Amino acid sequence: MRVVIKLGGTLLDAVESRERLAQEITAAAETEQVVVVHGGGKQMTRFLAERGVESRFVNGLRITTPEVIDAVVKVFAGSVNAQLVTALRAAGARPVGLSGLSAGLVDAVQLDPDLGQVGRPVSSDGRLLEILVRESYLPVVACVAGDAHGAIFNVNGDQMAVACAAGYRAERLIFLTDVDGVHDASGKTTPRLTVTEAEALIRDGIATGGMQAKLEAAVSALSQKVLEVLIAPGAVHGIVGQTLTKGPIGTRIVP
């Protein structure tokens, strides 16, 4: 089964969490055709703050000036990617660090001039992922994209995961995050949602902020022939295996 696993930057910030997930993903890659996509927003904010640059956001998206895009490449495609690749290799995998810039893996266009170099994915070529996985390598993709004219864009990690899943023709997309799943109006975790139900949670203002973004990403993935999206708590030990065996954890979104 082709699986894309998206890791949030918070999960990768602590060495213990990063190493545990690396071991779990390595084990999963022995039986499934896995691609990893990662963010790194927490690390990015810290990197900029250490250099006296204030992080500014609009609707959860980081305003990306030329100074910030330089940091995006250094942090997302540089240190965060390298740390995860190193952890996966130590766990026994054969990881290959990539970004959307690699062989035109994910191309994007500017989302909004007011946001600067923030991109919206518009196409994905999954052939590089297929070649690597077929040869038993583990692709590890940072959320940086570009275009054929040399532009570089900062892309939301969830949207990057959707683009990779669509291009790779993944059957399952897994978002490992810092919450236990999608909550309903009463605050309880919902084990299963259809696209219609997910859209209702957004429309009724129940799913907001980061969860709204994840549900919108899930709906987009399902519209691009991904069969199932799972939003699950990355802090739970053994979570990767549980998501692959359809254990009762997190929230599954289906067509």
**Domain residue ranges in the chain:** 2-254
Which helix (DSSP H) or strand (DSSP E) does residue 241 occupy? helix 239-244
pLDDT value for 209: 83
pLDDT value for 86: 98
pLDDT value for 60: 81
Q: Please indicate whether residue 6 is annotated as part of the active site.
A: yes
- Report d(CA 233, CA 230) in Å as an integer: 10
Q: Please indicate whether residue 114 is annotated as part of the active site.
A: no
Across the strands, what pairs with 252? 192, 230
Q: Name the one residue in this structure whose structure tokens are 């236990």.
A: 180
Catalytic residue among 158, 181, 234, 250: 158
Catalytic residue among 8, 39, 40, 41: 41
Catalytic residue among 8, 181, 214, 250: 214
Ranges of the chain with pLDDT below 50: none
pLDDT value for 247: 74
Topology annotation, domain 2-254: Carbamate kinase (3.40.1160)
* CB-CB contact of 86 with 94 (8 Å): no
pLDDT value for 91: 98
Q: Give the pTM.
A: 0.96
- Report d(CA 216, CA 60) in Å as an integer: 14
* CB-CB contact of 62 with 56 (8 Å): yes
Helix axes 81-90, 15-28, angle to 10 degrees: 60
Q: Please indicate whether residue 158 is annotated as part of the active site.
A: yes
